[in-house]
């Protein structure tokens, strides 16, 4: 399967008009998902927000629905609508906060809402009643993130009110960890205890408890007591471990980032390279230009830090990274126009990881992946046939 993010290009032979592109291996994504599901032994909600962590939301969702993924999670209403318009039929939970005027669109597109207050729940209930439909909702409990969600110490009134709804089906209840990927899990366990106290409400009133979920990637790896009825991997499903956590599930990166040499020149000593003239060589050297830059998500903060792979060897990025291009010092080695350049991934015995790129960018792996611009074409390989 070959697909790109530019729908105006129909001919697969011309798909990669830019030499800079991402390759996403759908078979690796499927294997990662199955490894997580086998490890936890319960349903897995795949998180697709932020363009599936840079991997391409719609192609990833289509592949993962085809292998039986029971739930998807996104951040915003428009992401859910895009998935529905692409033919995705599995349940989709929108994890972010909602505005009242959005509710009818959630219901019309059969998207599951997050409700974290009695006021929001009433708005959902009234809108569903007026439309003659039923809304589907998961209740969000804030156990220590202070983002969205009703506070754990105020949650019981919301839970009690949810039992009175006539047009709203409460399919789930969930919370989110702030520190489940930390070495010190004290705060995570405090959040878990708070959530369990909230859940005790259902036994106390003799009500059926909806589907419970809390475990993100860090908790999947470190807190099995937080797996409940379903887990919600994001980063882990794409084959990237949160830094410092035990790598107890065999997942592998599904995304690689490639480009090509498009220009070669010999630069004299003390002739500065790129904007600001911040780097120069002390001796004659060979510089190649690569058509990728911060406009693609290859961060300017990596200037003077990053390395790329050419012919299986590491070379430093020199001078300031430009919006659309950057320069690499190959010393007195050889490279030709058209030579492949690996920005992320493997070449021979060498590899550049997401964690390395994030370190060079002084950021986290989540931001690094989601910052890769959509103008970088995505190529999808190894589709699972059904």
- Catalytic site positions: 49, 275
Q: In whole angstroms, what is the distance from residue 234 CA to residue 106 CA?
A: 22
The whole-angstrom separation of Cα 343 and Cα 321 is 13
Distance from C-alpha of 260 to C-alpha of 279, rounded to nearest angstrom: 22
Per DSSP, which regions of the chain are E strands?
A: 21-25, 45-47, 71-74, 92-94, 113-115, 135-142, 150-151, 168-174, 211-215, 230-231, 255-260, 263-267, 285-290, 307-310, 313-318, 326-331, 340-347, 350-352, 378-381
C-alpha 92/C-alpha 86 separation (Å) is: 13
| Tokens representing residue 163 in the block | 């039992």
* Cα 247 from Cα 241, distance rounded (Å): 7
Could you write out the DSSP letters of every residue in 281-347?
A: -SS-EEEEEES--GGGT--GGGTTT-EEEETTEEEEEES---SS-EEEEEET----TT-EEEEEEEE
């Amino acid at each position: 399967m070959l697909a790109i993010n530019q729908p105006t290009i129909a001919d697969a032979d011309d798909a990669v008009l830019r030499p800079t592109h991402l390759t996403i291996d759908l078979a690796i994504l499927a294997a990662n998902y199955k490894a997580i599901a086998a490890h936890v032994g319960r349903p897995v909600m795949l998180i697709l927000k932020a363009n599936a962590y840079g991997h391409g939301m719609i192609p990833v969702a289509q592949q993962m629905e085809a292998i039986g993924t029971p739930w998807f999670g996104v951040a915003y209403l428009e992401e859910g609508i895009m998935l529905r318009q692409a033919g995705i039929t599995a349940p989709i939970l929108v994890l972010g906060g909602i505005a009242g005027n959005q509710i009818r669109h959630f219901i019309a597109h059969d998207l599951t809402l997050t409700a974290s207050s009695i006021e929001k729940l009433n708005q959902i209930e009234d809108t569903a009643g007026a439309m003659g439909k039923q809304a589907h909702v998961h209740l969000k409990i804030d156990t220590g993130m202070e983002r969205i969600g009703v506070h754990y110490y105020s949650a019981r009134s919301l839970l009690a009110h949810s039992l009175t709804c006539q047009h709203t089906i409460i399919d789930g209840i969930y919370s989110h960890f702030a520190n489940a990927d930390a070495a010190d899990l004290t705060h995570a366990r405090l959040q878990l205890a708070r959530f369990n106290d909230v859940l005790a409400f259902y036994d106390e009133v003799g009500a059926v408890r909806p589907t419970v979920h809390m475990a993100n990637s860090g908790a999947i790896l470190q807190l099995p007591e937080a797996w409940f009825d379903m887990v919600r991997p994001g980063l882990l499903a794409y084959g990237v471990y949160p830094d410092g956590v035990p790598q107890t599930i065999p997942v592998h990166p599904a995304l690689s980032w490639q480009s090509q040499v498009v220009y070669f020149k010999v630069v004299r000593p003390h002739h500065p390279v790129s904007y600001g003239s911040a780097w120069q060589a002390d001796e004659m050297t060979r510089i190649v230009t690569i058509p990728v830059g911060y406009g693609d998500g290859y961060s300017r903060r990596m200037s003077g830090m990053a390395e790329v792979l050419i012919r299986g060897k590491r070379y430093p990025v020199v001078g300031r990274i430009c919006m659309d291009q950057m320069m690499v010092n190959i010393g007195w080695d050889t490279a030709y126009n058209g030579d492949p350049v690996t920005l992320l991934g493997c070449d021979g015995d060498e590899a550049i990881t997401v964690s390395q790129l994030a370190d060079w960018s002084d950021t986290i792996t989540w931001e690094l992946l989601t910052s890769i611009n959509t103008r970088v074409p995505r190529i999808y390989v190894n589709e699972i046939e059904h």
